[in-house]
């Protein structure tokens, strides 16, 4: 049998290392997105009425997605708030709800893309899929990040003294929400 | 501790490389930043030799009036301009892998396994890109499948370099010892922080165009257009300078070390590096429309000011201190001068724009090529200068002066000739005409041969140094007052002594009273 007392405690982590690394990584990911949406808007202006003329993008679904991610941002902040007060129960609850909302967003995106029925070969098709696909991939990566951090919370690696993991996940998650807000306006609302 | 965590200082012994491992095992399975850095440097310089050979073949093709490459001219020429700078970017990243943690007295780089992943992904992607060139893909090739392979591998190169940059930038921000605020960070690490931060956003923006090219399922021609429209901006001002930001820090540190003086106006020097970094932000200047603007002109002209300022600080140190001609000295000084040459090409481009192309009629494509050639020359001289100067940390002993000086001379001559040829080409060959093309071809071949001999000479000097090991001749005159000079050589990850002095100035190894004088200055 393993004597838990004989196991050496994990060495202390460097404060804010994960937070800074995530911030740098997030900057890179956001830059990819900004470039994609810039190319999308430039091409749309150049194409005029021909832009996605064979497709119909419903707005209701996109509005629901925006509302979902806004709620997910609130619950993410709830998780950060809870771990910084060592309220582990609420941390688990907040992380669970955030994961559920994120998964719902991905589900809604697949539904919307099927509804929109954008053809890749038509003008703007490749850019539409690049923008929407990349933003969705960002959210999926955010979910994976959250799951890993949730396991680490369960393992006791984060607390009010060391909340960096959840703070880092929150930074990335807020970037996901912000980029979707841009997609919502530039791609779905303004069409 | 999870596999993604960095070992803290107290865990130094556990992180030390296993002595029973062979060198190959350490490279393949380890995450020691010094081993990875050395591998990055050598592999990067290796890819540069591939690019320079291709450049020489292009020169021979100019002499033979397209009788050598035929239809392969575009793919070989364009791909060499990708392999060269991105290979050198890897080599420079290798220097930072080794140097930055040592300057911060950190036992490891941030996320060492991520750093290892970046190195291996970059190596594999560079290899795949080169293979795609062999199958008429790469950039500008005619084979669609091979061109798609080239596009994807280019994306992987950019992503892996960005990952490496994240590790380096995070190391500077989080691994500094107590007392070392950002204002006291050694110049190389300071420039590494700024450079890495901008590499991340610049390469990410180029990566986005790789994504579009792949998602659109474009054919070879479409991918070539995607490259020209979406990625080529990286090879002209202002974005091209992003790759060279760390060179400025290396040049300042080497100068301080060799002259035995401290760089005057430390904060100003940091500010000049920062100004250079700001003026190298080029993600906004991707389209041709953005070039013919006042902002672009200001960026193109303004970049010369921090370069001149840093050259002035370097000259001031040489004036005040002793002058010892080590192989690193001419290399790092010339590396900064090459940046000034690149700024000159930008100035000529801006002048050409002032007349809307009618006043001077320069070939702006060639001026753009001149800019990236100058920056490439700056990178290769800076990287070789760094591995020569910090040879005890990198290879375990001082480099022998004679072969290293010869290598330095050939590299400088090759770089100077090649950059001058491309610049003059841009000035003479106007309006699509190609006068004296064969003469330029001969000069390109000569420059490529000198470059090649210089880099091979550097490899030879490094090999001799590694063989000499700790028995090599010590050079007590070449040392420094930053923390890497207090560590055992050759550097290995996790071997950080506990009795390092507390950091109270940018030169922690300086005697206390001198530090106090300097700080109050």
Q: Does the pLDDT value for residue B356 go beyond 70?
A: no
Is residue A31 within 8 angstroms of chain B, CB to CB? yes
Whether B371 has its CB under 8 Å from any CB of chain A: the answer is: no
Nearest CA in chain A to B201: A28
pLDDT in tens, A97-112: 999 999 999 999 999 9
Most confident of A13-22, B310-319, B342-351: B310-319
Q: What is the DSSP string of B147-164?
A: HHHHHHHHHHHHHHHHHH
Contacts of B127 (CB under 8 A, 6+ apart): none
Render B385-414 in DSSP notation, one character per residue.
Answer: HHHHHTHHHHHSSPPPHHHHHHHHHHHHHH
Calculate the alpha carbon distances from B504 to B104, B177, B496, B510 in Å. 13, 10, 19, 10
Using the predicted structure, report yes or no on whether residue B340 has a pLDDT greater than 90: yes
* Residues B101-159 pLDDT 10s: 999 989 899 999 999 999 999 999 999 999 999 999 888 888 999 999 999 999 999 99
- pLDDT average, residue stretch B379-402: 91
Residue entry with tokens 């800019």: B371
Residue B388: which residues within 8 A CB-CB, separation 6 or more?
Answer: B326, B327, B328, B331, B399, B404, B408, B458, B461
* Chain A residue whose CA is closest to B197: A24
The residue assigned the tokens 């970049």 is B303
Q: Is A13 on the interface with B (CB under 8 A)?
A: yes
Query: What residues of A are in contact with residue B200 (Cβ under 8 Å)?
Result: 24-25, 27-28, 31
Q: Name the nearest CA neighbour of B389 among B515, B247, B511.
A: B247
Q: Has residue B360 got a pLDDT over 80?
A: no
Return the beta strands (E) in chain A as ranges.
none
CA-to-CA dists, residue A87 to A90, A153, B76, B206, angstroms: 6, 11, 61, 43
Q: A34 contacts in B (CB within 8 Å)?
A: 205
How many other C-beta atoms can be found within 10 angstroms of the C-beta atom of residue A141? 14
In B179-238, the residues whose Cβ lies within 8 Å of chain A are 196-197, 200-201, 203-205, 207-209, 211-212, 215-217, 230
- Asked if A27 reaches chain B (Cβ–Cβ under 8 Å), the answer is yes
Residues in A touching B230 (Cβ below 8 Å): 39
> How far from chain centre, in Å, is Cα B305?
20
- Whether residue B169 and residue A24 make contact (CB cut-off 8 A), yes or no, is yes
Whether A28 and B204 lie within 8 Å, measured CB to CB:
yes
Contacts of B286 in chain A (CB under 8 A): 35
Cα–Cα distance measured from residue B262 to residue B255, given in angstroms and rounded to the nearest whole number: 9
Are B208 and A31 inside 8 Å of each other by CB? yes
Residue A67: Cβ within 10 Å count: 12
Enumerate residues 65 to 124 of chain A having a beta carbon within 8 A of any beta carbon in chain B.
120
Is residue B81 within 8 A of residue B140, CB to CB? The reply is: no
Q: CA B388: distance to chain centroid? A: 15
Q: Which two tokens stand for residue B179?
A: 């007392």
pLDDT of residue B474: 55
C-alpha to C-alpha distance for A115 and A64, rounded to whole angstroms = 14
Beta strands in B291-330 (DSSP E): none
Per CB-CB distance under 8 Å, the chain B contacts of A32 are 204-205, 207-208, 211
Q: State how far Cα B78 lies from the chain centre.
A: 19
Q: For the segment A27-80, what is each residue's pLDDT rounded down to a tens digit?
A: 999 999 999 999 999 999 988 887 887 788 889 999 999 999 999 999 999 999
The crossing angle, in degrees rounded to 10, of helices B112-134 and B33-63 is 20
- Position B496 scores a pLDDT of 72
Residues of B in contact with A137 (CB under 8 A): none
CA distance B443 to B453: 15
pLDDT at residue B476, as a whole number: 60
B10 interaction partners in chain A (CB closer than 8 Å): 11-12
Cross-chain Cβ contact A21/B170 below 8 Å = yes
**Distance from C-alpha of A119 to C-alpha of A170, rounded to nearest angstrom:** 35
Helix, strand, or coil here: B482? coil
Q: Do B208 and A120 touch (CB under 8 A)?
A: no
Chain A residues touching residue B170 (CB < 8 angstroms): 17, 20-21, 24
Question: Which domains can be identified in chain A, with CATH numbers?
Answer: 57-189 (1.20.120.80)
Query: How sure is the predictor about B519, in pLDDT bands with cuts at 50, 70 and 90?
Result: very low
- A143 prior amide bond cis, ω within 30: no
The structure's pTM equals 0.91
Tokens of B89: 């970017």
Tokens of B496: 């950080």
The residue of chain A nearest to residue B176, with distances taken between CA atoms, is A14
pLDDT tens profile A140-180: 999 999 999 999 999 988 888 888 899 999 999 999 999 99
pLDDT tens across B468-488, in order?
Answer: 765 555 566 667 788 888 887
Residue that wins the pLDDT comparison between B511 and B59: B59
**DSSP single-letter state for residue A52:** T
d(CA A124, CA A103) in angstroms, rounded, equals: 27
Closest CA to B375 of B85, B43, B139, B86: B85
Bigger pLDDT: B32 vs B416: B416
On average, the pLDDT of chain B sits at 87
Torsion of CA B454, B251, B231, B302, to 10 degrees: -130
- Could you give the CA distance from residue B167 to residue A96 in angstroms, rounded to a whole number? 30
3-state helix, strand, coil in chain A (%, to 5): 75, 0, 25
B contact test, residue of A126, A134, A148, A167 with most B CBs within 10 A: A126
Q: Is the pLDDT of residue B173 over 80?
A: yes
B506 CB neighbour count, 10 Å cutoff: 26
Say if residues B44 and B83 touch (Cβ distance below 8 Å).
no
pLDDT of B10 reads 40
Give the model's confidence band at B19: pLDDT under 50 very low, under 70 low, under 90 confident, else very high.
Answer: low
């Amino acid at each position: 049998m393993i004597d838990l007392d004989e196991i050496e405690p994990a060495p202390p982590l460097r404060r804010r290392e994960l937070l800074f690394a995530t911030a740098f990584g997030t900057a890179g990911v956001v830059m990819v997105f900004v470039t994609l949406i810039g190319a999308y808007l430039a091409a749309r202006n150049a194409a005029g009425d021909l832009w996605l003329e064979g497709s119909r993008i419903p707005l209701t679904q996109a509005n629901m997605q925006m509302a979902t991610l806004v709620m997910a941002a609130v619950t993410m902040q709830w998780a950060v708030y809870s771990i910084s007060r060592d309220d582990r129960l609420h941390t688990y609850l907040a992380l669970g709800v955030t994961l559920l909302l994120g998964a719902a967003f991905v589900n809604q995106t697949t539904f919307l893309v099927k509804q929109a029925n954008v053809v890749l070969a038509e003008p703007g098709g490749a850019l539409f899929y690049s923008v929407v696909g990349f933003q969705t991939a960002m959210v999926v990566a955010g979910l994976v990040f959250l799951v890993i951090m949730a396991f680490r919370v369960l393992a006791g690696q984060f607390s009010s003294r060391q909340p960096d993991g959840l703070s880092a996940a929150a930074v990335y998650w807020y970037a996901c929400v912000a980029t979707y807000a841009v997609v919502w306006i530039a791609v779905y609302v303004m069409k | 501790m999870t596999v993604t965590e960095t070992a803290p200082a107290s865990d130094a012994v556990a992180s030390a490389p296993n002595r029973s491992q062979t060198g190959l095992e350490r490279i393949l399975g380890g995450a020691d930043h010094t081993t990875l850095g050395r591998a990055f440097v050598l592999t990067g310089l290796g890819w540069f030799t591939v690019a320079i050979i291709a450049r020489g073949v292009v020169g021979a093709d100019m002499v033979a009036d397209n009788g050598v490459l035929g239809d392969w001219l575009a793919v070989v020429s364009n791909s060499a301009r990708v392999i060269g700078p991105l290979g050198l970017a890897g080599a420079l990243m290798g220097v930072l892998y080794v140097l930055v943690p040592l300057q911060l007295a950190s036992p490891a780089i941030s996320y060492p396994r991520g750093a290892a992943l970046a190195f291996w992904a970059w190596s594999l992607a560079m290899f795949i890109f080169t293979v795609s060139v062999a199958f008429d893909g790469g950039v500008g090739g005619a084979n669609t499948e091979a061109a798609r392979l080239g596009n994807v591998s280019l994306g992987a190169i950019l992503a892996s370099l960005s990952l490496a940059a994240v590790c380096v930038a995070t190391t500077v921000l989080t691994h500094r010892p107590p007392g070392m605020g950002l204002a006291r960070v050694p110049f190389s690490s300071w420039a590494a922080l700024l450079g890495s931060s901008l590499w991340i956003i610049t390469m990410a923006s180029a990566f986005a165009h790789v994504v579009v090219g792949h998602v659109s399922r474009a054919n070879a021609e479409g991918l070539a257009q995607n490259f020209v429209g979406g990625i080529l901006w990286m090879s002209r001002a202002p974005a091209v300078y992003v790759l060279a930001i760390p060179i400025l820090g290396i040049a300042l540190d080497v100068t301080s070390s060799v002259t035995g003086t401290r760089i005057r106006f430390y904060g100003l020097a940091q500010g000049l590096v920062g100004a250079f970094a700001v003026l190298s932000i080029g993600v906004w200047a991707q389209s041709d429309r953005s070039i013919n603007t006042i902002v672009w002109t200001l960026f193109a002209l303004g970049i010369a000011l921090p370069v001149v300022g840093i050259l002035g600080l370097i000259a001031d140190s040489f004036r005040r201190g002793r002058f010892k001609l080590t192989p690193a000295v001419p290399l790092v000084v010339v590396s900064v001068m090459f940046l000034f040459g690149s700024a000159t090409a930008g100035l000529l481009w801006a002048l050409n724009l002032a007349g809307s192309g009618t006043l001077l009629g320069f070939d702006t494509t060639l001026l753009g090529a001149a800019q990236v050639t100058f920056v490439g020359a700056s990178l290769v001289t800076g990287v070789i200068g760094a591995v020569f100067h910090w040879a005890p940390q990198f290879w375990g002993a001082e480099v022998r002066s004679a072969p290293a000086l010869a290598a330095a001379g050939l590299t400088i001559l090759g770089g100077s000739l090649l950059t001058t040829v491309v610049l003059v080409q841009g000035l003479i060959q106007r309006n699509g005409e190609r006068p004296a093309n064969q003469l330029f071809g001969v000069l390109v071949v000569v420059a490529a041969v000198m470059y090649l001999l210089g880099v091979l000479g550097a490899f030879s000097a490094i090999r001799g140094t590694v063989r000499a090991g700790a028995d090599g001749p010590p050079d007590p005159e070449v040392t420094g007052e930053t923390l890497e000079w207090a560590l055992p050589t050759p550097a290995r990850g996790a071997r950080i002594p506990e009795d390092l002095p507390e950091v109270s100035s940018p030169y922690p190894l300086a005697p206390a009273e001198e530090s106090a004088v300097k700080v109050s200055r």
